[in-house]
Chains A and B, each alone.
Chain A
Amino acid sequence: MAWFKRSPWVLHYNATSCNGCDIEVIASLTPLYDLERFGIINVGNPKHADILLATGSVNEKSKQVLKTLYEQMPNPKVIVAVGLCAISGCVFQDCYNVLGGVDKVLPVDVYVPGCAARPEAIIDGVIKACEILEEKYAQQKKARRTSA
């Protein structure tokens, strides 16, 4: 049995976002939404995290940070792109310095739309991410068994 569904730990990174989505991510931790009742904790350390919540349109500077964070997370791990900027670049997509979406850098598993994404949508996205975590763990286990 995999336990990822019961305790997904989330790492939140602002890849040049306008802070709108970030406020909503933090809002989902408040007593009104209370993410912790699902066992979800907002950690500050990639080595403790299962899910990477990335917001913002990603530029050349934040690209490196995003990659480093992803590499430091232990397997299995899932990336959630939160907000329209993280999905496509939104209104910033034509800017010369913007890459236009987290999936230009990393393999995104869940897209949470909205400008800014609503806390309900973010919670829904994280719960979806949990299922993908479980799948990834099952695949990992299978791969390990076949290689052994």
Chain B
Amino acid sequence: MTTMQEIFQSLTIVERMLVFVFIAPLVGGFLSGCDRKLTARLQGRYGPPIRQPFFDVLKLLQKENIVVNKFQNFNIVLFFIFTVFAGALFFAGANILLMIFSLTLSGTFFVLAGYSVGSPFSHLGAEREIIQIVSYEPMIILLAAGMYMATGSFDVAAIAMHKKPLFIALPGVLAGFLYILTIKFRKSPFDLSMCHHAHQEIVRGLTTEFSGPALALIEISHWYENVLLLGIVYLFFAFKPWLALVLTLGIYVLEIVIDNNYARFKWQLTFLSSWLFIAAAAGSNIIVLHWIK
């Protein structure tokens, strides 16, 4: 692990970004495959092979690309680019605030893609996506603030090199982040706009008008995003890299178990519960941290 860190530190920022761009989809696709297998096992099914997400994406790339207007895929490409950029910034150890802006921008383009087509299902999906963004966005900002107060830096590299365990200083922020992680992973009970399971229902809304390569791009962006989010979880335990890796994967498994055990919330409950939980957990954590200092 230490040798890996040394290799990582010897790279320039651009090289680190390139490493992320090439490795993250492989890791993300593999995690997604594990997700589907584990979900199937939890439901008493045998489940698809672990490589299944790659088969799906490769197939989608070979399908015809039906578009209803020329803006819809433009928005998806921007969504993809900004998601990758946010992840690349994070794994290059750059500023966490810039990463958050890029991630938010990618989310905005995804909503715009939903609105750019005529389908009412797609519009409904876009509205639900906005509600999700509003629900999780305060937590992302509190995350950056909390990490700054605990480590004195906004740089991901400095936060990762912090010697003290971050999760002891920021237990509430971690809890709040885990809460919104379910929204970001698009898992039950918060899978309002782009659910992975209920293909016939309105929760599949946002992707209604996207076919073939555009749908593949959405899926790949989702992989990048998942790797980035797990990277943020890693930061909380970064003082011991091996422990951090195990705990991060453990939290991913926990999310899958939650996904399989909870019914979907209504949007009102999603919004209210996440804001209340964020205010109670992360908000109080940051206030206490402020008093201690």
Contacts and interface: CB of A to CB of B under 8 A. Distances in A.
Interface of A: 2-4, 6-7, 31, 34, 36-39, 41-45, 47-48, 50, 72, 74-76, 137
B70 interface: no
Nearest to A34: B45
8 contacts: A4-B62, A7-B59, A31-B44, A34-B47, A39-B52, A39-B55, A74-B63, A76-B63
Contacts of B44: 31
A47 B207 CA distance: 9
B56 A39 contact: yes
B40 A74 contact: no
Contact of B48 (A36, A43, A76): A36
Listed from nearest, the 8 A-B pairs whose CB atoms lie closest are A44-B200, A74-B64, A6-B55, A47-B211, A3-B59, A75-B64, A3-B58, A31-B44
Given A34-B45, A48-B211, A74-B65, A43 B199 contact: yes
B6 interface: no
Nearest to B205: A45
Contact of A36 (B45, B62, B63, B211): B45
B86 to A, nearest CB: 26
A47 B208 contact: yes
B40 to A, nearest CB: 6
B91 to A, nearest CB: 29
B209 A47 contact: yes
Nearest to B52: A39
A4 B58 CA distance: 9
A39 B62 CA distance: 16
Contacts of B62: 2-4, 137
B270 to A, nearest CB: 22
B183 to A, nearest CB: 23
Contacts of B48: 36-39
B55 A3 contact: yes
A44 B64 contact: no
B262 interface: no
A95 B172 CA distance: 68
Interface range for B:
20 to 34
A17 B63 CA distance: 30
A74 B47 contact: no
B46 interface: yes
Given A34-B45, A37-B49, 8 more contacts: A31-B43, A42-B200, A43-B199, A45-B204, A48-B215, A72-B66, A74-B63, A74-B211
B46 A6 contact: no
B63 A50 contact: yes
B138 interface: no
Nearest to B210: A47
B256 to A, nearest CB: 15
A44 B198 CA distance: 9
Contacts of B207: 45, 48
B259 to A, nearest CB: 16
Nearest to A46: B211
Contacts of B45: 31, 34, 36-37
A76 B211 CA distance: 12
B212 interface: yes
A120 B79 CA distance: 41
Contacts of B64: 74-76
